[in-house]
Amino acid sequence: MAGTKKHGLGKGLDSLIPDKATPLQKAEREEKKDGVTIVKINKVEPNREQPRKVFNEDALQELSESIKQYGIIQPLLVQKKEDYYEIIAGERRWRAAKKAGLEEVPVIIRDLSEQEIVEISLIENIQREDLNPIEEALAYKRLLEEFDMKQDEVAEKVSKSRAAVTNSLRLLKLDDRVQQMLVDEMISPGHARALLSIEDPDKQYEFAQRIFDEKMSVRDVEKEVKKLQNGNRPEKKEEEPLSEELLTEYASIEESLKQKIGTKVRIQPKTSQSGKIEIDYYSAEEFEKIMNYFNS
């Protein structure tokens, strides 16, 4: 009697069930210790909108050698996309890990808004002093324009003074060629700020080249720019006396400002073309209210 052919179950039930795992799931090796997951490095990509664009190759090589010896100590912060992980923080570590020949990297996966991603990327780079002055200024500009933030809000987010954020943004008014010299460290941010008062782009660039060639100090630049401006300043015309009509108009504006701001305001004209405005405040709350009014 011929024996009945038996079908073994050696392959198990898995052989009868199609593998429906996504590419990302296949790329993950779950190690949920402290929320860290190990993923294939080729499934991780940088965020194209991250503030930092320039990476020092010598510093990357040093980090790569360290990673070869000790591994990646701090996991990358990423978010899931359709078929890859996008880096929120840690692109420098990712680049060094690729140089070191790693096939997997430790990551922490988060689901964040676009604004949160920009903020985290900016804060990480600023804390590590990894951004050049123009990258930093562009990141501030993006927070202001894309996410409708005010300068004092940006300053609070990145733990900087409002003046520091303002001075950073002013660098974007420089001629593009001068901005590139700043990126290339041919001039310093102090040199660059001193050049802002030169309005002609070509003259600004020529002066920047002179700073580099002559190794000028910031103080020297400030003196030279002041001389240049005084030399181009037209002779002062005799100022007309303040008319009664103009004084009445200033008084009306003064009263209007008092009503809107809620504190004492004084307009003190020196001539028909110049003068000063004084605003009093008597508490931190009043000062904040005044700043909010002018920033709105």
List residues with catalytic annotation. Answer: 91
User: What b/e sequence results for 55-81 when a residue is b if at least 16 CB atoms lie within 10 Å of its CB, and e otherwise?
Assistant: eeeeebeebbeebeeeebeebbbbbee
Taking CA 170 as the corner, what is the angle to CA 295 and CA 181, rounded to the nearest 5 degrees?
165
Residue tagged 């930092």 (tokens): 52
Burial class (CB in 10 A: 0-12, 13-18, 19+), 230: exposed
Q: Return phi, psi of residue 225, to 5°.
A: -65, -40
Per DSSP (E only), the strands in 73-227 are 76-80, 85-89, 104-109
150 class by beta-carbon count within 10 Å (0-12 exposed, 13-18 middle, 19+ buried): middle
Chain mean position to CA 113: 17
Helix (H) or strand (E) holding 28: strand 28-29
Provide the terminal-to-terminal Cα distance of the chain, rounded to the nearest Å.
96
Contact 183, 54 (CB under 8 A): yes
